[in-house]
Amino acid sequence: MEINQTRSFLLLGFTEDPDLQPLFFGLFLSLYLVTFAGNLAVILAIISDPHLHTPMYFFLSNLSFADIGFTSTTIPKMLWNIQTQSKVITYGGCITQIFFFFVFGCLDNLILSVMAYDRFVAICHPLHYTVIMNPWVCGLLALGSWSLSVTGSLLETLTVLRLSFCMSMKIPHIFCDLLEVLKLTCSDTLINNIVVYFVAIVLGVFPLSGILFSYYQIFSSILRMSSVRSKYKAFSTCGSHFSVVSLFYGTGLGVYLSSAVTSSSRTSLVASVMYTTVTPMLNPFIYSLRSRDMKGALGRLLRRAPSLNDGLL
């Protein structure tokens, strides 16, 4: 049976137990605030400190913005539903969530691959770094990442608009996950599945292959270095990025492997939470703890904050 597309979906979330709702509200509110504040601090530190006006930190600011958008797409709606004791999300709201979830998710992926290329040039071609990674090229790489992310997300979203849905509108998730939404449709999903795999290959597999190739070249170049100090400096240069890449793809693969291995929606839900909330929250800490320049910039930003507040008062 088909229904009118003006109907709403129900986001079932983790549990229907009212006693546990305040616990989940406090937990996810804390995660969201830490994620938002941490990534915003990284962006402000990079903007305010001239020493950080380099390609690596320019791409890091884009990554932090993508992480803010990634969590803001899903967590505020979940918190609102818990606070109002409602599970409803409108059809339009669900489509909007799917669109922005893919925009910022793909952007995360592409920016990480661009950052890997930046580290490849810095370590393997240091004498030509400033020529290759000039501001014009960096701007094109960032713009290209944004354009591909929006295009891929439009393909995913527009193919959902053609679907009709059955009477069951319950999504066992905290947000409108595309794969869960496709399970509710009465329409043929062949086109949707083709688009999902196409976007996953173009905006997922290809960037990951580029990252792996970049790090193969980086490690090969490091092993050829004769100086231990040079090796340590090269490893420290790409250490933060490698940690973030491992965390991002480790949790991301966990989502899809858990979906493939088990039919349990709860297992997929827990894996998705790691992917969509924990990873964006940890990224600023990884870069702040491993980068002396970033720690210095954040310290100067925090010291300037009280003086700015006094000036406003």
- Alpha carbon distances (Å) from 24 to 32, 171, 255: 12, 18, 20
- Assigned domain for 70 exists: yes
- Assigned domain for 229 exists: yes
pLDDT of residue 312: 42
Tell me the residue length of the chain.
Answer: 313
- Assigned domain for 113 exists: yes
Q: Which residues contact 175 (CB under 8 A, 6 or more apart)?
A: 11, 73, 74, 77, 78, 97, 101, 276
- Assigned domain for 312 exists: no
Residue-range definition of the domain harbouring residue 143: 9-307
Name the DSSP class of 185.
B
Of 69, 250, 45, whose CA–CA distance to 146 is shortest?
69
- Assigned domain for 123 exists: yes
pLDDT, mean of each 10-residue run, the chain (313 residues) = 60 76 89 93 89 90 94 92 87 93 93 94 91 94 96 94 81 85 87 91 90 92 82 78 83 62 62 79 79 74 62 46
Of 138, 76, 151, 88, whose CA–CA distance to 111 is shortest?
138
Pairing of strands 170-171, 9-11: parallel
Tell me the residue type at 173.
H
Within 10 Å of residue 136's Cβ, how many Cβ atoms? 8
Of 304, 104, 289, 109, whose CA–CA distance to 202 is shortest?
109
Model confidence pTM above 0.75: yes
- Assigned domain for 65 exists: yes
DSSP, collapsed to helix, strand or coil, labels residue 88 as strand
- Assigned domain for 235 exists: yes
Alpha-carbon span 257 to 246, nearest angstrom: 16
CB 123 within 8 A of CB 188: no
**Domains of the chain: total:** 1
Rounded to the nearest 10 degrees, how much is the dihedral formed by the CA atoms of 209, 215, 221, 226?
A: -160
| Helix residue spans in 162-205 (DSSP H) | 178-182, 190-200
CB 39 within 8 A of CB 65: yes
Within 10 Å of residue 51's Cβ, how many Cβ atoms? 12
pLDDT of residue 131: 93
CB 112 within 8 A of CB 207: yes
CB 165 within 8 A of CB 94: no
Q: What is the CATH number of the domain that holds 174?
A: 1.20.1070.10
- Assigned domain for 313 exists: no
pLDDT of residue 268: 66
